[in-house]
């Protein structure tokens, strides 16, 4: 596994997403089930902006402060679209609120959690930022290879400037 220790900080505008979602936990991970349903159906998206896939997680505000492997969250398999004019019947829409993100370039297996241990255990507490209560997501571009140690993706963590103490 390889990842950037220093993320780039980016501000994004709202994004229109179309996809599918499932509620799951890390103990009861249904990611492969979600993507198995989404991938054959994604060809029905006529207004996607590019071919990149977006894996998005929506956590409750106390998800990380009272963390257990059984905490549930909502996971989405999506693509960014220009509009919501043609939504396939088995999919839903979501507007990802814009804002400030720390973007980590990651290369390795999706099952290796060391990148997230680094982000939440080391980088974030020592940075000028706090975690913001907005969706987290990964951009799975043309260098993404499912279950391949050479797979590359971008990990987008929502942040906000720390309040002065």
Tens of pLDDT, residues 12-40: 999 999 999 999 999 999 999 999 999 99
Domain span holding position 80: 2-161
Q: What is the pLDDT of residue 3?
A: 60
| Largest interatomic CA distance in the chain | 50
Q: What is the pLDDT of residue 126?
A: 95
CATH of the domain at 140: 3.20.80.10
Q: pLDDT by residue (tens digit) across 38-82? A: 999 999 998 999 999 999 999 998 898 888 889 999 999 999 999
Question: Structure pTM?
Answer: 0.92
Number of domains in the chain: 1
Over range 145-149, report the average pLDDT.
87
């Amino acid at each position: 596994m390889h990842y950037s220790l220093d993320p780039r900080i980016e501000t994004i505008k709202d994004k229109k997403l179309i996809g599918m979602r499932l509620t799951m936990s890390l103990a009861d991970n249904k990611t492969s089930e979600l993507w198995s349903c989404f991938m054959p159906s994604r060809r029905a998206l006529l207004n996607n902006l590019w071919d990149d896939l977006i894996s998005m997680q929506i956590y409750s505000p106390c998800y990380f402060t009272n963390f257990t492997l059984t905490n549930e969250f909502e996971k989405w398999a999506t693509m960014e679209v220009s509009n919501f004019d043609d939504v396939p019947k088995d999919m839903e829409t979501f507007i990802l609120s814009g804002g400030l993100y720390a973007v980590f370039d990651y290369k390795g297996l999706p099952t290796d959690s060391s990148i997230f241990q680094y982000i939440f255990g080391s980088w974030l507490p020592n940075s000028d930022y706090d975690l913001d209560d907005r969706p987290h997501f990964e951009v799975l571009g043309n260098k993404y290879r499912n279950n391949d140690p050479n797979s590359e993706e971008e990990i987008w963590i929502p942040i906000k400037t720390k309040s002065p103490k």
